Structure 1
Amino acid sequence: MNRYNCFYKSCPEGFISKDQLLGMYYGAFPSGDPKNFVEIAYKAIDLNNDGSITFDDFIITLDVCKRNSTEKIDWIFRFFDMDNDGKISKEELKNFVEAIYQMLGKKEVESLLDNTVEKRVNT
């Protein structure tokens, strides 16, 4: 099944709502709370800022993520620059990292941190 058919099968309205995206992330990260991350991601994926993720937004995002380009850097910058002022503040970076930790869940974050410390000590 091609991406277009798959998208419209999952989203017959023609767009992904924030609640639908949240449900997808809860499915992928059942031990965490992805609400804050979804807020950030939704804003970054909604390329024309119309409040919905259309098929075009979805495909462009997938395409940009597969590239190794300036477009990819610009798109990633959108994740961090939450107030769209063209700068990434310490607060924005902190909010992004906290959203990732919340999404993963406490046990997963602790496991990742323990694993990283263990690797650093044993190398």
Structure 2
Amino acid sequence: MKIIICGSMSCAREMIEFKKKLENLGHVVKIPEDAEKHLNGKITEQDKWEKLEFNVFKNYFQEIKKSDAILIINKEKNKLINYIGGNTLIEMAFAHVLDKKIFLLNPIPLLSYTNEIEAMNPIILNGDLNNI
């Protein structure tokens, strides 16, 4: 299965780790291009502007379009358990309208948009990638 990993860049380490684990399980996996830079603390203001200039967001949505599924790395962030932020919610919605499978690493968080997440009917992995 071709899987696109999405989530907050605060989860860059997990994105890289889960990419390797999923590849070992036989999946083809894509993570955000700048995950390594985030992990190493090397994201600059210039990098942020390049995201806009080179359509990084549109390019990642094209990857979602070509995928079978997305995996959301939803871990605690800023004391919010199983956090899913705005950009990740948009990626989920995009996958949903394209009839892609949506996997959540952890249960759905309690947020102002929990109902919208539930409406996309994601598959909850309960932390176990073998459930894909």
TM norm structure 2? 0.27
The structure that is strand-richer by fraction is 2
TM norm structure 1? 0.28
The structure that is helix-richer by fraction is 1
Bigger Rg over Cα: 1
- Structure with more contact order per residue of length (Cα contacts < 8 Å, sep ≥ 6): 1
